[in-house]
Each structure stands twice: as C-alpha cells, then as structure tokens.
C-alpha cells in the first residue's frame, strides 16, 4: 500500500475510550484514589474529549449503566457533542446487585432473570436517546461448584434473555456479546469463549456480533486466529482492547505484548476493516489503578495506532507471493520487517497534517489539564467502581 493510502486509513481510524477508565479503580485488595478524577458522567466526557483533542482518533466514549446513569441522556449526548465527541457503546451492568449472586439472565429465579432483562431493555432505551449504535453485553454469570446449577438449562435461559433484548433493537442498532473465560465464576462461566458467543449470535441474527476482549482468554491463546475466524463469518463486532501478563489484568493496550496487538491489527488490516465502514468498534476496556488515567488512555490509543500503522505497512503482494511459494522464512521476514519499522515519525507527520500537536503525551502534559481539573474537582464523590 502506498504511503498516502496508509495515512488516509490512519486518519479515519477511530478508537472509543471507556468512561470507567477515567474513574477510580483498583484490584480486589484496594481502590486507589487519584486527584482530579471525574465525579459524574459529564466530567468523564470532558476527560474523554481531552484524549480526543490530543490524539485526533478517539471521537467517542463508551458508557456503563448504571455507573453513568443521568436523568437526561439527550442532554448528556449534547454535552458530548459540544466537547467534540459522541456517546458510543452502551454497556449493560448486571453484575453488581446482590440479586445477581447466582447469576443475572441465567439465575435460577425467574424474578431475577426478569429484572436483568429489564435492565438490558432500559439500556436500549438509553441508546435510543443518545443515538448510541451498540449494546454491549457481558455477563458475570456462571457457577463455582459442579452441581450448583444445570449447565444446559442456564444456556436456555441465556438464549431467552438475549432474544428479548435483540427483539427490542431497531434500525441499525447492534448487540455485541462479550465472552470471558473465568472470573467471577470459577467453575463454569455461561459465556466463556468465542464459540459460545458466536453460536448465540448466529441464533439471534446478523445484528448480533461477538466482542473480543483481549484479556479474556487462557494464556497462550492465539487471539488473531479468533479475529480471522470471526471476520470471515462477519461476526466480529468489536474489541475491548487492554493487555495482560496473567489474567484479566486490564493494563494499557499494547503494553504487555505489543507484538500480539500488531498480529491482531494485521488480521484487521488484511481484511480492510480498520476504518469505521469495516463495522468493527475498536474500544478500550482498561483500568488505570496506579498510573495517571488520562495520560494512560492517550498512551493506549497511540499504541493501537502504532500497531495499526505497522500492520498497514506489511507488503501484502510480496507476502502473498512468499506464501504461494511456500517460502516460510521470506513470509515471516515480511511481517517482522513491518513490525520493526519505527512508525512514530510517520504518525507525527500525520498529526501535524491533521492540525494536532505531533507529540500527544508531551502536549497533554504541558497543557496543565490535570492540574486544572484537580483544582476544580474538589468535594463530591469521585467516580469509581460501584459509583
């Protein structure tokens, strides 16, 4: 691909940032408070808009309900627009009420299942008000002990709930179903892998799509294979990018394993699906427990952008020829050549062409934004888990 074609794609790339990345978070041992943390969804939007201002490619923010509950969602959407961004994916949250101890949509108690489905429907009402295109579902449902509940019946309950939510979607709205190997359930998770998510999506219809959260697999899983498979089936709806050393560590995307992120973006670039018309929502899903949050989100956006630029640099004609010839080492060299290219000068130039500061992190640090919001955001309750 010629340099102009590459920069044209990079200019149109969009990465959605999560509202919860701006709030306080922690491990199950401690939530650390940081200065300047937003106290409500409006302040989270201001932080997300700041990330977009410095990167130019993060024009939307994902909301999590009820963490981001407000009385007027149209007002919130208008506020986002005033700040130069839009409201993106609506994430349902059926994992924090005491009622959900034995599951939400797969709970043995029909009253609890009904409550969970009502929340999913409420999230679609919110999408109608905000213009958000996607409903993202992740269920903490599962069991801790063999015999605790019937595994097949739980799948029936899940299918029934998904069907009710899917039927409520209108127009171009989509349902994105996320899987996760384990945690909080430790014996059997009800949506543990891409195969389960995929099978439910196929049963539902074309607007049900799978979400790949990069932290939700067993160690050593070949995630790019899952990407390739789902792309081929037209069922890859979105990513939750983050990185991990052990389990679902929720570290900055591209921090723990930049080569894996590159391999994933290679599959996306090969399928021509980097830009929004490719139908994939590229989101971050991370927590910044010990590092400054806004700067960490900027770093993550840039890491995804760098991995994408490298993937776009792969000489696909030469690669196809090497693959046809069975030249294993030449093919691998072509991939590694792109991976080892320093794309930072190209991206600095791109930002200048887009009217942005060439070095987003340095520019953000020099802007004084964090000192300003730390002085302003005094009193009230800092947003965080459960808030």
Binding site for Mn ion (CB under 5 A): 213, 240, 285
Q: Is 248 in the site for ligand PSV (CB under 6 A)?
A: yes
Longest alpha-carbon distance in the chain: 66
Of 7 and 289, nearer to Mn ion (C-beta) is 289
Helix axes 293-313, 360-367, angle to 10 degrees: 160
Binding mask 74-103 for ligand PSV (x = CB under 6 A): -----------------x------------
Q: Is 213 in the site for ligand PSV (CB under 6 A)?
A: yes
Instruction: Please say whether the beta carbons of 75 and 83 come within 8 A.
Output: no
Structure tokens at 181: 């190997």
The site for ligand PSV, by CB under 6 A, has a size of 9
Partner whose footprint covers residue 139, from Mn ion, ligand PSV, none (CB < 5 to 8 Å by kind): none
Of 26 and 358, nearer to ligand PSV (C-beta) is 26
| For residue 66, cis peptide bond before it (omega within 30 degrees of 0) | yes
Report in angstroms how near the CB of residue 91 gets to ligand PSV at its nearest: 5
Q: Is 68 in the site for ligand PSV (CB under 6 A)?
A: no
Q: Is 196 exposed, middle or buried (0-12, 13-18, 19+ CB in 10 A)?
A: middle
Instruction: Please say whether the beta carbons of 347 and 307 come within 8 A.
Output: no
What distance in Å separates the CA atoms of residue 380 and residue 228, rounded to the nearest whole number? 46
Q: Which of 138, 179, 194, 364 binds ligand PSV (CB under 6 A)?
A: 138
Of 43 and 141, nearer to ligand PSV (C-beta) is 141
Of 89 and 295, nearer to Mn ion (C-beta) is 89
Of 285 and 357, nearer to ligand PSV (C-beta) is 285
What distance in Å separates the CA atoms of residue 244 and residue 199, rounded to the nearest whole number? 27
CA angle, 249 as apex, 339 and 124 as ends, to 5°?
100
Q: Which residues of the shown chain bind ligand PSV in the complex (CB under 6 A)? A: 20, 91, 138, 178, 180, 213, 240, 248, 285
């Amino acid at each position: 691909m010629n340099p102009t074609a590459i920069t044209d794609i990079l200019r149109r790339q969009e990465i959605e940032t999560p509202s919860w990345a701006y709030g306080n978070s922690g491990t199950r041992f401690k939530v650390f408070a940081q200065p300047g943390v937003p106290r409500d969804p409006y302040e989270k939007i201001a932080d997300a808009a700041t990330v977009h201002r410095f990167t130019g490619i993060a024009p939307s923010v994902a909301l999590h309900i009820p963490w981001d509950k407000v009385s007027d969602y149209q007002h919130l959407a208008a506020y986002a627009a005033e700040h130069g961004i839009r409201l993106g994916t609506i994430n349902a949250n059926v994992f924090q009420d005491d009622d959900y101890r034995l599951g939400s949509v797969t709970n043995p108690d029909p009253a609890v299942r009904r409550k969970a489905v009502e929340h999913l429907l409420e999230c679609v009402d919110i999408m109608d008000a905000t213009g958000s295109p996607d409903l993202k579902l992740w269920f903490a449902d599962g069991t801790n002990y063999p015999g605790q509940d019937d595994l097949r019946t739980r799948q029936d309950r899940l299918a029934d709930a998904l069907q009710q939510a899917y039927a409520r979607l209108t127009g171009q709205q989509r349902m994105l179903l996320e899987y996760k190997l384990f945690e909080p359930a430790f014996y059997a998770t009800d949506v543990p892998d891409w195969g389960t998510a995929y099978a439910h999506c196929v049963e539902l219809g074309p607007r049900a799509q799978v979400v790949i959260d990069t932290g939700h697999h067993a160690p050593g899983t070949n995630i790019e294979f899952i990407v390739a498979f789902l792309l081929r089936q037209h069922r890859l709806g979105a990513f939750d990018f983050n990185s991990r050393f052990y389990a679902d560590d929720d570290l900055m995307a591209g921090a723990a394993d930049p080569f894996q992120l590159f391999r994933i973006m290679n599959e996306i670039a090969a399928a021509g699906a980097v830009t929004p018309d490719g139908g994939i929502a590229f989101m971050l899903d991370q927590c910044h427990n010990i590092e400054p949050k806004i700067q960490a989100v900027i770093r993550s956006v840039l890491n995804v952008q760098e991995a994408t630029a490298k993937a776009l640099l792969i000489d696909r004609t030469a690669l196809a020829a090497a693959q046809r010839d069975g030249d294993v080492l030449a093919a691998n060299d072509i991939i590694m050549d792109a991976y080892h290219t320093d794309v930072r000068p190209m991206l600095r130039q791109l930002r200048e062409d887009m009217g942005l500061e060439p070095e987003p992190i340095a520019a953000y640090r020099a802007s004084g934004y964090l000192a300003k919001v730390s002085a302003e955001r005094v009193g009230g309750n800092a947003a965080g888990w459960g808030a």
